[in-house]
Amino acid sequence: MKKILLLLSVLSLNQITAQTFTEPLPIPPTVTGTVFNLNVNESTYQFKPGNITNTYGVNADYLGPTLIVNAGDFITLNVINNLSVTTTMHWHGMHVPAVDDGGPHSVINPGETWSPDFEVKNKASVYWYHPHTMGLTNYQASMGAAGLIYVKDAEESALNLPRTYGVDDIPLVIQTKSFDANNQIQISSNMDNVSMVNGEISPYVDAPAQMVRFRALNASSSRTLNIGTDDNRTLYQISSDGGLLENPVPVTRILLSNGERAEFLVDLTGETVGNTFQFKSYMSEMPSNIEGGAGSAGHPNPLFGTDWSFMEVKVIAQTPSAITALPGTMTTLTPFLEGDASVTRPMELSSNAKINGVSMDMNVINEVIELGDTEIWTITNVTPIAHPFHIHDVQFYILDRDNGGGPVAPSATESGLKDTVLVQSGEIVRVIAKFEDYADPVIPYMYHCHNLIHEDNGMMGQFTVVDSSLATSEVLSESIRIYPNPSFDYVTIESSEANNFQNIDLFDISGKKIMTFLEGTKTLNISQLQSGLYFLKIKTSKGELVKKIIKS
């Protein structure tokens, strides 16, 4: 076994050291507007010489377009499933209603279209979309059904920052993969030894001799990245997952776990045209408990502890109206106050893919949160390996980290809004978030490890956000009657007082919306439904209510 691993290590290292960076970095096309049509397709892609590789793509053979949206816009995303299997589509980091979040309950069957619509409430930053299919997230995302989302807002637009897409504002979807002898992607392989950016193995990118902005996403299944350059030049981080940092933060390394994003500037002003440098992942500098570090726990990998380059930068001539200076103060961060938290919620990450001692069950709501509450989540990792922890619906602030020596405030690069945080072995991380705008007692949001292998193995839980105001829970419940219930074919909704029905949605027990009835409808035809339990969400002029019905 040791000889086999040694041989694999030598082969992998030979592959890394033999990089030639001959192919240009593909720049994903952009789509703008308020209506987006996303076709999820089965396709093929030429990653390596020889056999072509079976892939998934969104409006493309591999990966998808960058969606550019404006804060405050109401957008519609039509997701068309052209696959032969079910899928979903999650808007990672976006603050949206649970029904539009695209978790495992929002199943899109082959040939169907799912059309969530919502207001863009996030701050300017880079987010992403990917499937969240129960047990198949890693497979479908690894096959290529993923892409970036750029949110723009007035605050960011007023800053003197590079934003010419693909020229001085460069998207980086970074992944590592393993291929078999036929050049097919090996899912859930621990022997990933190929790095790629935007679907290209070891690409180069032309960057003008000025300030250049890179927007990086770690879209790998399980490997954490430790980004730097081969000449250790300064990177100025300007944004984390959910928005701008207060000031550019000078660093030489950016630790980026699965699902995390970071925007950073590289100052190429005055560089000689033709100069080159490489972006690397410095795995030898990472602790062994982090996936990819030297001697990583859990399983062997020929690249663990190895520093490898994933892209070359070639300096080209400066562009007209070039940005050549760093911005000053970019925003003012106003973290939620610890004293405003009404709940402290424990989250223990344990072995066998469990959170708080249980694995994911689609039929169990693990946590119920009150709309408007500010909560502290205490995330404790009792496993021997690090886990990137992601919470849907919200952007949070990190309060502190405790590796056993007492709580330590977050670094400057982690001082901004986050939706994913790496929790190392034995570490306790406290985060604070406010759950606002959206309540739904039926459809849950997710929280989970964003190591996609762990997620698919069940390291995930569900929470609902509820509004227990008097108008919704008591007055409406007493004034609305549904009969007959159970029913074989039709049910009637009746109100005892002036209470206009504005919208009625029907959900199955998994939380999937299956029917919407027109305004004013009072008699519902359920004859075509399978027998079982369903939920009616009734929106009226006086509030919103959820009622159970049984199809006999």
Residues 69-115 pLDDT 10s: 999 999 999 999 999 999 999 999 999 999 999 999 999 999 999 99
Give 220-266 as a DSSP string.
-SS--EEEEETT---EEEEEETTEEEEEEEEES-EEE-TT-EEEEEE
383 pLDDT exceeds 80? yes
Return the pLDDT at 405. 95
Q: What is the pLDDT of residues 399-426, one digit of tens each?
A: 999 999 999 999 999 999 999 999 999 9
State the pLDDT confidence band at 477, using cuts at 50, 70 and 90.
low
Return the pLDDT at 434. 99
195 pLDDT exceeds 90? yes
Strands 307-316 and 276-282: antiparallel
Backbone angles phi, psi at 141, to 5 degrees: -70, -40
User: What whole-number distance in Å separates Cα of residue 534 and Cα of residue 505?
Assistant: 10
Task: Tell me which CATH code domain 338-466 carries.
Answer: 2.60.40.420
Query: In this structure, how many other beta carbons lie within 10 angstroms of the beta carbon of residue 346?
Result: 12
Q: What is the pLDDT of residues 146-177, one digit of tens each?
A: 999 999 999 999 999 999 999 999 999 999 99
Return the pLDDT at 3. 43
Residue 165: closest CA among 134, 132, 198, 200: 198
Amino acid at 79: V
On average, the pLDDT of the chain sits at 92
Return the pLDDT at 14. 45
State the pLDDT confidence band at 191, using cuts at 50, 70 and 90.
confident
């959206």: which residue's tokens?
A: 438
**Alpha helices, DSSP H, located in 410-500:** 452-456, 470, 476-479
Return the pLDDT at 94. 99
Residues β-bridged to residue 311: 279
Return the pLDDT at 5. 41
Return the pLDDT at 2. 40
Mean pLDDT of 17-27: 85
Q: What is the pLDDT of residues 284-319, one digit of tens each?
A: 999 999 988 876 655 667 777 889 999 999 999 999
Return the pLDDT at 199. 98
Q: Could you give the residue range(s) of every CATH 2.60.40.420 domain in the chain?
A: 33-157, 159-330, 338-466
42 pLDDT exceeds 90? yes
Return the pLDDT at 513. 81
Return the pLDDT at 500. 66
Return the pLDDT at 25. 99
Mean pLDDT of 20-38: 98
Return the pLDDT at 538. 82
Q: Could you give the residue range(s) of every CATH 2.60.40.3080 domain in the chain?
A: 470-551
CATH 2.60.40.3080 describes domain 470-551: yes
Q: How would you list the strands of the sheet with 490-495, edge to edge? A: 480-483, 490-495, 523-525
Tell me how long the chain is: 552
State the pLDDT confidence band at 200, using cuts at 50, 70 and 90.
very high
118 pLDDT exceeds 80? yes
Q: What angle do CA 85, 90, 93 make, to 5 degrees?
A: 160
Q: Is 438 exposed, middle or buried (0-12, 13-18, 19+ CB in 10 A)?
A: buried
| Three-state DSSP class for residue 521 | coil
Return the pLDDT at 297. 54
Torsion on CA atoms 153, 157, 158, 161, rounded to nearest 10: 140
Return the pLDDT at 190. 72
Q: What is the pLDDT of residues 206-218, one digit of tens each?
A: 999 999 999 999 9
519 pLDDT exceeds 80? no
Residue 262: closest CA among 239, 229, 286: 239
10 pLDDT exceeds 50? no
Return the pLDDT at 267. 99
Return the pLDDT at 162. 99
State the pLDDT confidence band at 549, using cuts at 50, 70 and 90.
confident
Return the pLDDT at 497. 57
Cβ–Cβ under 8 Å, residues 201 and 47: yes
Mean pLDDT of 431-457: 96
Return the pLDDT at 521. 74
Cβ–Cβ under 8 Å, residues 422 and 450: no
CATH domain 159-330 topology = Immunoglobulin-like (2.60.40)
Task: Tell me which CATH code domain 33-157 carries.
Answer: 2.60.40.420
Return the pLDDT at 12. 46
User: What whole-number distance in Å separates Cα of residue 265 and Cα of residue 247?
Assistant: 12
Q: Which residues contact 87 (CB under 8 A, 6 or more apart)?
A: 40, 81, 107, 108, 131, 133, 136, 140, 145
Backbone angles phi, psi at 437, to 5 degrees: 80, -45
Q: What is the pLDDT of residues 330-342, one digit of tens each?
A: 999 999 999 999 9
Mean pLDDT of 519-525: 80
Residue 367: closest CA among 341, 336, 391: 391
